[in-house]
Structure 1
Amino acid sequence: MVLAAAGTLFYIGSATPLVHAKNPAPRASRSMSPVSLPMYFEANQGQTDSRVKFLSRGHGYGLFLTADEAVLTLRRPAKVETSPAVSPSASTNDVIRMRLDGANSIAHVSGAELLPGKSNYLIGNDPSKWHRNIPQYGRVNYQSVYPGVDLTYYGSNGQLEYDFRVAPNADARRIALTFDGASAHLDGSDLVLSASNGDVRFQAPYIYQADSKTKAKKKTIAGSFRQLADNKIGFEIGNYDHSRELVIDPALSYFTYLGGSGTESGTKVAIDAALNIYLTGSTNSSTDFPTNIGPAYAGGPTDVFVAKLNPAIPAPQSQLIYATYLGGNGSDDPAGIAVDVGGQPYIAGTTTSSNFPTTTTAFLTTAAGTHGFLTKLDAGGGLTLPTAYSTYLAGNGIDTVTGVAIDTKGDAFVTGTTTSTDSTTGFPSTATGFQITSLATNQFFASKLNTNQNISGNATMLYSTYFGGGSPQDGRVTGGGIAVDNSGNMYITGGTNFLFDPNLTNENPRITNFPILNAQQACLDLIPNSTTCDPGQTALDAFVAKINPNRSGTVGLTYSTYLGGSLDDVGLGVAVDSLANAYVTGETLSPDWTPPTLIGPFQPLAGGNFVNNHDAFIAKIGNPNGTTSTFPMTYFTYLGGGG
């Protein structure tokens, strides 16, 4: 059997790193090449139901192999509605069980072709229930499912396959497959399983024997499926040499289940100094063994997955070094990943789990609600002290992490948004922060943490600050990325409609003002730039701010500037080069940015007619090195078309 389109494929594009050579993480890939998560089978070491011997997963499916059956969970993606007023429909699974009728129920099941990769399950905050270093295999063998008949599951070119191998003089007519959870019928030479969410189609089986003279060649044997009874299928086999082994290989495709969103989403990528690739995203590929047949609700919590691959290993060998699943009893979604010089990944994101896995060295070990998290895995993908670290980032509101970066010392820098208010349970701002109190319902934040093993608890929070305005009180905030330069300055970006008025004369303009300083663009939404700000503006502008966490209070802000036009603009990512020039990327609805004239833009005009048409943008903020108080935009371009 071939389970088509089972692999997950990522393309890593070429780019020039925007970080200094002394800071190897994160790095961009240097070549355009496909990297696939290889097909593998995990031995069950407690991560799923005890009836399961081995399990596997791929894009849109899960496979559980027990002693006497194979259980497929096939995902039907949720319908994506074109209108934002209509909620997307829930996705569902079809559970289809394939049982060998009349087979040996105590057939020996074993893994073969041990792979170098390992799986880790860090689910919940009880380390005694974590499962680490689970072996991965390239094949699973069932010996003597019928007299003289073996069954083998394996992966080939990122696809799941299984074969029946019939020994000399054994009776292939004894093989009978019974299906539950779908209606089985023949359609020409194909076998079709009609389930609630779509059809599963088995193409006519490929039946062959090795050539008697040249073992490398295969001699095709005529054959087909045979309907034995309702939902019971066997094989019709033509003349063949019974003195030699026979192989039966049905081919399956479930393309009616694929397309659109799958079980893994939001993949982020980082690369270490050795060019190993680290992927993170969210997954709801559950290890829960289904007890029913037919359709089942497939919603529910997501976990974080982290995969490390070595693309230098040639296919078809496994490039996977480890796959780690991280989460708790809620939804856990990563926003970014960075990797230090020792090959340890840092993952930051948002969780609703009340039992998210944390370490005893954490700044905050418990929380309830929707909050941020920061996790530093050990080099093997686990949470083993003293090298690992994991903590909540939480206040008394909703705290959402949108970006993570690290410096050469391994300190982590995290940014996001928060609705937490000022109290002992508010978002953790330090006394040295630029803005130690919240000014409105929604604010940005930026935090620096020491994840090394020499300190723990509150001491791990080196610096933390709110960053936001007070007018309007219901101002909008959209979190973006964060970067750190060689001097330890942090750069944050996002989108906001908080106002700044440079002409305010009250004693503390920050009570109402969004923090703007030494700005390229001092006023929200005003194009061309003006120093006379209009308090009636309401669209979002992107912004970028440079903060020195080694300086206390308001003097820690080096610059902060709006970036945008008259419509909504949001900064999503930021990088910094060795000269402390900042590069901001994001999306824009504005057709009227005012770009600099120093260097011609790649695309000077917005694409399309700009009726709800988003373009990407790239803007460079220069570092004048004291020659002026303004940090100018030295390059800008749109990136986009008319769609």
Structure 2
Amino acid sequence: MRKAFIFLTIIFIGLFLASAAGEKTQDIEAKGAESKEIQGQKESQETLQFTAGGHVLGFRKGDMFIASSDHALRIEFVNSRPVSPREEGKSPDTENTSQAAKPLGKVSYRNLWEGVTLSYEKYRSGVVKSTYYIQPGGKNKVDPVDQIRLRYNVPLKVDKSGNLLASFETGQMKESRPVAWQEIRGRRVPVEASFRSLGKQEVGFRIGSYDPQHQLVIDPTLIWNTFMGSAGYDCGTAIAVDTSGNVYVTGYSGDWGTSPDPVNSHAGGTDAFAAKLDNSGARVWHTFMGGFASDNSYAIALDTGGNVYVAGESGAQWPPGDPKSEKTVNGHTGSGNLDIFAAKLDSSGTLMWNTFMGSLDSDTYPHLAVDIDGNVYVSGWSSAQWPPWTPPDTKSDKTVIGHAGGTDAFAAKLDSDGALVWNTFMGGTAADRANAIAVDTGGNIYVAGESGDWGTPVTGGEYAGGTSDAFAAKLDNNGAYQWHTFMGGAGSDLGTAIAVDTGGNIYVAGNTGDWGSPLNPHAGGQDAFVVKLDNNGAYQWHTFMGGTGSDLLRGIALNTGGNVYVAGSSRATWGTPLTAYAGGTYDAFAAQLNSSGTYQWHTFMGGTGSDLGQAIVVDTDTPPNVYVAGESNAWGSPVTGGAHAGGYDAFVAKLTETTEINIRQDTTDIPDGGSYDFGSQKINGDMDVTFTIENTADLNLTLTTPITITGTNADQFSVQQQPSSPVTSGGGSTTFDIRFSPTSLGAKTASISIANNDSDENPYDIDLTGTGKYELTITAGTGGTTDPTAAVYPYEAVTNEDITAIPDSGYRFWNWTGDASGTNNPVTVTMDSHKSVTANFSDMATKFVIINPADSTAGTATTVTVQAQCTDSSVDTLYNDDVTLVADGSATGGGLVNISSGVGTLSINDTVAETVNLSLSGGGGLDISSTQDVLFSPGAATQFVILDPADQTAGTATTVTVQAQDTNNNVDTSYDDDVTLAADGSATGGGLVDISSGVGTLSINDTVAETVNLS
């Protein structure tokens, strides 16, 4: 998983400071015996061997060494885990080399201490760079950093700058002060870091507080800075870099002495200088140019042949008799004022020619550009028309547009031998100054500066008023005016630098008050600005940089990717810099924008004095290196031989731009060399996980090849979606999907490798783990639960699992279905494949219910049904027991009802026509409150019955009742008809009896005392 990391980056500079005069300076020096001792130790242990910086590097379990033929440095990893070193990638020049001579690429010790991975990799400006990757998670117990303990084979010392010095008899090896940082969603957050002395020969690290949820990184990294100069005032004003990474700087200075000897010696006072530094910042040569007056150089450029061109101002002819004067194309005007000079040096610093340009008044602050044919273009300030010169020719003859008065901006072209081809002036009657010049591949010239109103500017680029406006102008290769435009507001606006890209777009930098609609708002005071124009001078965009103090831009450069780099100075901090503002009057700064003007990064350089950035250049490396020149009090840790000499020195600083690949899954960071666990996944199932690649640095991140999966179980993982490339700088992202599809039980391992152009994390490797599992799906039906609880369970090995069904109250276990059957409870399931088991439950009876019986006729039985019912009135078909049915009245047949499968019946009869109430008793604890009524109705009449009449005295009538009855002597109330009542003897009143509802009456009388028979 992508977790938080601290990157503690240590650079083995590999430059030795001689301990005594006359001793030979070497990269690393120690006794030869020590080298033999290290090479002879642990011979049986496997050693990875490489070369870097003129040394052999060996990596083993527990230690590493850096050695040459007669000295060696060994570093032991104290109390570390027994981790073998791993070669992470191959250096591009490793083909056809033996193991012992193999150039170093990258070697890692993964999890060397718990949560700590250490890597070593090739470093262009030294021998080797070590980086510690600190994983989070252990900080609540013991901070992983506290585990790191290194034991050296030589005495150690931490200098005032925080660098670690390893002392040998003849010199020292220096490891740069560690830096630690974090990337928190595109914002770089530095973390305080330093060496921690643990004894005479042991060291660890001390870091400040950090957020363990985010990866840590720094970019760009200050690789080296060096000072050049005397004890007086020395200023670096311009810088250039060749394709080999050599750096050329110019400026003005007092004498530097003779260490090393200059190509041409100092003439006195302030002289212009040029110097060449190699890629590591070491001085290759330097030379002075000038006479006894003041000579200042402000511009430098290179041609394809390695020649160096400088331009500046000079107060007098350079001394006669000196080799310089013999190579002067055109002499100084001798007016006592400053003239412009241009000079050409070969690749070793030897003067090839110099020439002067200017008027009898002051001509100052030149800048220059060189085209592919070696023609030189110079711009600057001039106070008057240029007079005739020697040899007999006139500058005025070659002037395209004449001087307009006051101070005018000028541009001039010299051929490759220094001869003037043409010159021209730009401006009006106010002060007009050209501060920068550039030339495109077609030979067109672009000038930037500051000016009052003049001419007819490009539409939309009119003069805005105020003290001055920044301006840009285009000339063709013959010096003919093409267009000009103004930039700025109502205050003072200065154009100080200009560059043109391959598409002909123009970028102007300077400082200004607020104006227009910028991409980034003005912060107050004087802010730095960058403006983009198209090739016709039409405005495209502008942006501001800076804080509430004064912010000045003096240099601009472009790289092949269209990014814009600027250098300048700030009086106070602003934004979120990569390196914090150090204080003092000014700090130098460098910044990058993309081609759309969007801010990418900025960084400060300097100490507590005044540090001014004057020029910037970018090389063609991938990623590019950025070089800044300026003037400074002492700061930082300059390279050997580049120590501060006092007062103000010229400085050169090299910054390395990088890409920075970060990978996360959701919100969890996964470091290079980290891992991601898919967990358990159903066999023959798929689990897709999306990962995000972020680029938090300054260059676009290129993913050079598709993601590949390797390892023991590579066939169990697959890339479902490849990431897109490039990933844009400054927080761009892309995603890729990995699928885990196990086909068998057990742990699976593989790894993915992401090839990219991040120099210290290429390839970016992530270990993948996952486990194939069988799944048991347990389901509980309505009315119960199971143990284990109903869910899906993984099984990573064949296992017998017992499952118990647990019915709820009012329910009973019924049976198992699925991959288990029957009624055994618990049931055992063998997990040798995917299984699914369901526990089924049924309701239990809670009551007896008498189902409403059918009514009947008296004497005819009716069937009564009794059910054992659940709470939802369903029949409990599992119930088998008895209950007693009670029938009241004359009914017969009540008694024990045998309940089987939840139902029982009993026959009830009653010869009496009546309603019989049915109820229950007993019931085994079930509810027996259920009752029902059964109506027994009389049957059809089968007989007339004369009810016994009351006896009576003779002469008094008595009532005789006749009923129509059924066979059970019940009155048939439905009968309506007549019957004749016959009375014998002397009785009277007999006759027809009207039967209604089964009953009729008739009165009988007899005056004779006798028994009367009725029929």
Smaller-chain TM-score range? 0.3 to 0.5
Greater relative contact order structure (CA < 8 Å, 6+ sep): 1
TM-score for both structures, normalised by structure 1: 0.47
TM-score for both structures, normalised by structure 2: 0.30
Structure index of larger Rg: 2
